[in-house]
Homo-oligomer: A and B are copies of this chain.
Amino acid sequence: MAQAAAHPAPTGQTTGGQAAILRRATIGDSEFDRDTAVVRREEGVYDAELSAGWTIIHAVNGGYLLALLGRALGDALPHPDPFSVTAHYLTASVPGPAVIRTEVVRAGRTLSTGQATLYQYAEDGSEVARIRVLATYGDLDALTDEVRTTALPPAIPPRDRCLGTEAGGDVIPGSSAITERLDIRLDPATVGWALGKPSGTGEMRGWFGLADGRDADALSLLLTVDALPPTSFELGLQGWTPTVELTTHVRCRPAPGPLRVSITTRNLAGGLLEEDAEVWDSADRLVAQSRQLARAPRG
C-alpha cells in the first residue's frame, strides 16, 4: 500500500499538518480521470494511453481497463451510465498506446447497447485485440427511488481497524504501482493469506477508496469491482488469478465517501472459480454487483 500519510481521510477531512499541502481530488480532476482519458480520433474510435500506474507487477489491472472502455462507450452511446458491462479478456495488456473501437448496437429510449474493443499495436503496427466489451447504458438519475433490497451491507470492522494492503507486501512480490493509486483496507478476517494462514473460505472484504480522495462514480465502480486481492488467496492458492470474463451491474449512483466491497467465491472447480463482488456506498446502498469467471492459480 502507498504511504498512508499521503492519503486524505476519505470523508474529505484532512488532519494535522497535511491539511495545508493536500488537495482532495475531484471527479474529473484526479489520477483516475487522467489515466482513463480517451481522445476521440473519429466517430466511435478513441485513442488511449494505458498508464503504468495501474499495474500489478507488469499486468495492467482489469478493472482499470474496464473503466477506460467504459468511458469510451459513455461517449459513443446516447446514455451516460453503465448499467451492465461484460468484458472478455483476450490477451494481456501492457502500458502504452491503445485504440478503442466502438459500435452502437442499439440506441433505445431508456437504454442503449454498445460494443467496444481495445487494441494495442504489434511490432509491425497491426492491431492486437486485448479486451472485448458488450454493455448496456442508461441514466442512473432516471431510475426510481424505490429500494426493496433484502441484502444487507457486509459486516466489515471500522476502517481504522482494517489493514492496508501493505500487510500483503511479501505475498505480492515486485512492484505493484496500483497500490499507490488505491486506498484499500482489508477486513482482518480475510487477510490470513498474507500471514501464511489462509482461512479456507472464499471471502475477501474491505474498504475501497481512491488514494487521491476522488469520490466514486459509476465509472470508477468498474475499477472497484476488480481491485481487491482475489478470493483464491484465502482459499490457499497463490499466484495469478486471470480474469476470463467480468460482468458488472451498476445499480445506483454512489454517494460520496468510502465504499465497502465484499467478494465471495462459492465454486472453485475444474481450475476455474467465480468471484461475486458487491459494492456498498456510505449511504448503505448496494451500488454495484459483479461476477467474474477466472482461472484458478495452480498453487
- A86 is contacted by which of B117, B147, B247 (Cβ under 8 Å)? B247
Q: Are B88 and A105 in contact (CB under 8 A)?
A: yes
What is the count of identical protomers in the complex?
Answer: 2
Q: Closest CB of chain B to A263's CB: distance in Å?
A: 13
Q: Closest CB of chain B to A76's CB: distance in Å?
A: 15
Whether a CB of chain B sits under 8 angstroms from the CB of A13 is no
Q: Are B148 and A268 in contact (CB under 8 A)?
A: yes
Q: Are A132 and B105 in contact (CB under 8 A)?
A: yes
Q: Closest CB of chain B to A242's CB: distance in Å?
A: 11
Enumerate A164-181 residues with CB–CB distance to B below 8 Å.
Answer: none
A134 proximity list for chain B (CB < 8 A): 86, 88, 115, 132, 134
Q: Are B90 and A106 in contact (CB under 8 A)?
A: yes
Q: Closest CB of chain B to A147's CB: distance in Å?
A: 4
Name A88's closest neighbour in chain B (CB-CB). Answer: B113
Q: Are B266 and A150 in contact (CB under 8 A)?
A: yes
Among A40-48, A52-60, A269-277, the one that faces the other chain is: A269-277
Contact with B along A220-240 (1 / 0, CB 8 A): 000000000000000100000
Enumerate A256-288 residues with CB–CB distance to B below 8 Å.
Answer: 265-272, 274, 278, 285-286
A selection of 18 A-B contacts at a CB cut-off of 8 Å is A83-B293, A84-B293, A88-B105, A88-B136, A90-B106, A105-B132, A115-B134, A143-B271, A149-B266, A149-B268, A150-B201, A245-B247, A247-B291, A249-B291, A252-B269, A267-B286, A267-B289, A269-B286
